[in-house]
Structure 1
């Protein structure tokens, strides 16, 4: 969810890089044209983002991904430019920032702009990854986090030491504490609340269902689409999957 919001924010902010020089060069053009130009860049940038994500999920070789993304993006962008060439040549002249509108100028600007958009698209995951990495605290103090959790079992209240907990698992809307012994207990709390109470050097929020103890992880396997699959002891009912966006952060945390 956080990555989706960042993608939207980046999609809205990056086009401003093209607006500023246009305003300076054209001495404050008509607001309507400027707004249409901003929406045009947003749409073109979004197009390349969608194509890049599509090729990342289906093409393994990096060079092939780049070639396919560039060709597909340039072809679609060129189609839009050709449509504007006949329907609104004045608007296209402003969009492409050319003096004499011709097929040659449209082709040249389209190819160059497609390359620029592809480069910006490739930079987006790097920005998101850097932000994810920054969320890992460098230093922690164990006294700031819970050492025990209380649970109720058969009308009895029990205290469970954090060191006994292999992972926390949200299942069918119910949150369970899962011990290394294999026992499970219900805890009346949310995963978000638990994150604040657990030492991030020892526990990792794997996804929307699991917070995992580093000591419970026995191996890590590569999964499809650059995701990671965790092998744990004790075993879980299903695979614990780390997303492609979180994978570098998880590996850095786990290797510590």
Structure 2
């Protein structure tokens, strides 16, 4: 996977980072010990988002809290250089947190952003192919953002056509038996958990036994995942 960000991806990273920071401040400040010291409430959407914001230098982990860097600045400074994996984690935060955002939680309907910061995110998403512009005020998710939406249960893996059987069989042959047993077990029956566990180690078309990837990425082949899930879980 190419780690260097394109111009469009850089714009998307900045838009999502500033929007997520705004969301974390608006949701967590009242329940935190100080305006610049946030507690994530041990809630996944906050944990994932805060961790992603730490990766790009807008928050810093401090014990059980997240220190807000440049707390009084509406447009804080972002480092010049970031990697594609940093963007993937921010998009993971966006997808997970979307269930708690009025303009986003209906994942099968058009997105009509009511805030400037979210509108900026949608425009940048469209530039990268993760959304489609359907009017001057409305957007819709595209299949390219499927990895993130499926990972967080906003879309169903079963909606994706399964890959050809020969591809599924070839992929299964490349996975160690112990891991196949794990992927076919009860812990991976829930489809969002299955794709998380499968793609954590299925990287660039092969099984990487010594690696574990935490965020979705563009190379998640959901058609292959749908085929393997069907094969392992009989659905």
State whether TM-score is above 0.5: no
TM category, shorter: under 0.3
- TM normalised by structure 2 equals 0.27
- Whose helix fraction is larger, Structure 1's or Structure 2's? 1
- Whose strand fraction is larger, Structure 1's or Structure 2's? 1
- TM normalised by structure 1 equals 0.25
Higher relative contact order (CA 8 A, sep 6+): 2
Larger Rg: 1
